[in-house]
Amino acid sequence: MRRVEPNTMPLYVTKKTHKRTSLAPHGKRILMPVTTVAVRAGYARNDHEFEIKYYDPKVIGNGTFGVVYIATLYETGDKIAIKKVEIDKRFKNRELQLMKRLEHPNIVRLLYHYESVDDHKNEYLNLMLEFLPKTFHQLLRSYKQVDACLPSIYVKLYMFQLLRALNYIHMHKIVHRDVKPQNLLVNHELALLKICDFGSAKELQEGDSNITYICSRYYRAPELLFNSTEYGTTIDLWSASTVMAEIYLKSPIFSADNAIDQIVQIIKVLGAPTRKDIESMNPKYAGVPISDVPGIGLAKLLKGHASSHALEVLGSLLKYNPNERAHPLEILSMQFFDDLRKPETTLPDGAPLPPIFEWYQREVELSYTVKLQASIFPTRRTPAGRSSNSESSKSDSNLSKSSW
């Protein structure tokens, strides 16, 4: 990686391709073009331009907003993902601004970014991200195809990491607004989960009106379906719990073709929202009154699929009233996650669990304020600064960002 003086690089990507064979620094002979780009680092602290070389780009995802490629870094041989989104000059790209602020083991890491321009003078923002091999959607599908269930240790590990990441994002008053299996990336061998796609995310400001047509329908919180513009971060908790229910049911818990039917599907399970519930979701709701019908209930729907502890988690999150949804840290302290706290627990192949208890100081402090630290962390592995075991949590200097 060669450092270049600021301002000496053109604004846009410098593309040099070598057609000849070259020996990459990581020792592999490359028989294909290598692309060189002038990038900026993902984290703002040292925002100089660098030259990065990559090769073998292939499309892996075609989203609403852009194209995602997989490529290999010339220097290290590491796989990366490049998300290329057309720049709309009228708006500042929120995804880049937010991703620069977020640094967490359960959030996909922004490595570099650069701008590029095509032959028609369309301009693009390219986000170079750490690569993860699968989406959670693909993982669930692979189990479904062989009529198997995701083993319960993975359900616990993945839900723990998802809720921990949401807690971290919400600490920054950022709401993701598109939590769904397609936006959760996994390395199933290591049992790691990371949230991606901050294209819909937003930092909430008091008094701001927010758009309601956000979040993929099946995972959309009821307050959005009731057209609330003053929702909070708890919309992500609803989405997370629908993801959890989907793990057990092997298909989305609430699926409909339109917003009205989506509400109907929720009512069929949870029963109709009370007047108080509707007021909590959207005090300005002026739609048709909803008759008082009972739902079949989560316990009946998930009978034979989910344990009582799993139902406790789902029941604490799948609530109409956004303020009644449990705090993510409260959920992490529930019995459902107790296996993860036992020293003898391993992955099915005997490998150790990923380091899910290495928390940032700031996350730990927050868990103190809600007095949950004792129940989130394993016994005798108390969090940072108080530990007899240095493994339990890394200090800010190791992990956190100066902005904290």
List residues forming the annotated binding site for ATP. Answer: 84
**Which among 228, 322, 232 has a CA at the least distance from the CA of 283?**
228
Name the residue nearer to ligand ATP (CB basis): 78 or 261. Answer: 78
Q: Which sign does the torsion angle of CA 260, 326, 194, 145 carry?
A: negative
Please give the full DSSP string across 210-246, using - where no structure is assigned.
--SS-S-GGG--HHHHTT-SS--THHHHHHHHHHHHH
Compute the distance between CA of residue 256 and CA of residue 58 in angstroms, rounded to an integer.
33
Q: How far is the CB of 125 from ligand ATP (least distance, A)?
A: 12
Q: How far is the CB of 134 from ligand ATP (least distance, A)?
A: 8
Among 40, 53, 83, 217, binds ligand ATP (CB under 6 A): 83
* Residue 178 designated active-site: yes
Helix, strand, coil share (%) of the chain residues, nearest 5: 35, 20, 50
Q: How far is the CB of 59 from ligand ATP (least distance, A)?
A: 9
Strands 174-175 and 202-203: antiparallel
* Tokens matching residue 241: 């719990």
Assess 82 for contact with ligand ATP (CB under 6 A): no
Among 55, 124, 131, 160, binds ligand ATP (CB under 6 A): 131
Answer whether 248's CB lies under 8 Å from 302's CB: yes
Name the residue nearer to ligand ATP (CB basis): 63 or 287. Answer: 63
Name the residue nearer to ligand ATP (CB basis): 132 or 225. Answer: 132
- For tokens 């409909």, the residue is 256
Considering the candidates 47, 78, 147, 178, report the single residue annotated as catalytic. 178
At 155 the three-state DSSP class reads helix
Name the residue nearer to ligand ATP (CB basis): 73 or 329. Answer: 73
> Cα(first)–Cα(last) distance of the chain, in Å?
29
Assess 139 for contact with ligand ATP (CB under 6 A): no
Residue 143: what are its φ and ψ, rounded to 5°?
Answer: -70, -40
Assess 199 for contact with ligand ATP (CB under 6 A): yes
Assess 390 for contact with ligand ATP (CB under 6 A): no
Q: Which stretch binds ligand ATP (CB under 6 A): 16-24, 124-132, 225-233, 380-388?
A: 124-132
Name the residue nearer to ligand ATP (CB basis): 130 or 365. Answer: 130
Provide the strand spans (E) within 118-208.
Answer: 123-130, 134-135, 174-175, 184-187, 192-195, 202-203
CA 116 to chain centre: 26
Assess 12 for contact with ligand ATP (CB under 6 A): no
Element housing 323 (H / E): none
Among 71, 108, 278, 399, binds ligand ATP (CB under 6 A): 108
Among 61, 77, 271, 295, binds ligand ATP (CB under 6 A): 61
Assess 93 for contact with ligand ATP (CB under 6 A): no
Q: How many residues bind ligand ATP (CB under 6 A)?
A: 21
Compute the distance between CA of residue 169 and CA of residue 187 in angstroms, rounded to an integer.
21
Q: Which stretch binds ligand ATP (CB under 6 A): 43-51, 123-131, 223-231, 390-398?
A: 123-131
Residue least distant from ligand ATP (Cβ):
63
Which residues make Cβ contacts (< 8 Å) with residue 195, sequence separation at least 6? 106, 107, 108, 162, 165, 166, 169, 176, 179, 183, 184, 185
Name the residue nearer to ligand ATP (CB basis): 122 or 274. Answer: 122
Among 72, 126, 135, 234, binds ligand ATP (CB under 6 A): 135
Assess 183 for contact with ligand ATP (CB under 6 A): yes
CA 353 to chain centre: 20
Assess 197 for contact with ligand ATP (CB under 6 A): yes
Assess 132 for contact with ligand ATP (CB under 6 A): yes
Among 25, 63, 287, 294, binds ligand ATP (CB under 6 A): 63
Which amino acid belongs to residue 42? G
Assess 72 for contact with ligand ATP (CB under 6 A): no
Which residues make Cβ contacts (< 8 Å) with residue 253, sequence separation at least 6? 218, 242, 245, 246, 269, 301
Name the residue nearer to ligand ATP (CB basis): 150 or 215. Answer: 215
Task: Cite the active site residues.
Answer: 178
Binding site for ligand ATP (CB under 6 A): 60-61, 63-66, 68, 81, 83, 108, 129-132, 135, 182-183, 185, 196-197, 199
